[in-house]
Amino acid sequence: MQTGLTSKDLGILEDQLGHEAMANHKAAAYAESLQDPQLKALANTLAAHHKKRYESLFNYLNGQQ
């Protein structure tokens, strides 16, 4: 059984890291521009979710190097 990640796997995960960063940034920007409190709360929740995923993936990738 393989224990490490291939360079292709790492590349895919690094791409996903970028996607999570972009999703976090967009959701946070939407939250700032929204006036409706429920939509603002939803956008903030989404931003926090993507930030958490970004941080988890970032920490995982740092452990692989």
Q: Is residue 19 part of a domain?
A: yes
Cβ contact 61:20 at 8 Å: no
Question: Does residue 41 sit within a domain?
Answer: yes
Task: Please tell me the total count of domains within the chain.
Answer: 1
Tell whether 58 is covered by a domain.
Answer: yes
Residue 1 lies in a domain: no
Largest CA distance in the chain: 52
H-helix segments, the chain: 7-33, 37-64
15 inside domain: yes
- In the numeric block, which tokens belong to residue 18? 């970028």
Q: What is the pTM of this model?
A: 0.85
Q: What's the N-to-C CA distance of the chain in angstroms?
A: 20
Instruction: Please write the tens of the pLDDT for every residue from 5-59.
Output: 899 998 999 999 999 999 999 999 999 999 999 999 999 999 999 999 999 999 9
Question: In terms of residue numbers, what domain contains 46?
Answer: 7-64
Q: Check: CB of residue 47 under 8 Å from CB of residue 28.
A: yes
With respect to residue 2, please indicate whether it lies within any of the assigned structural domains: no
Q: Within a domain: residue 34?
A: yes
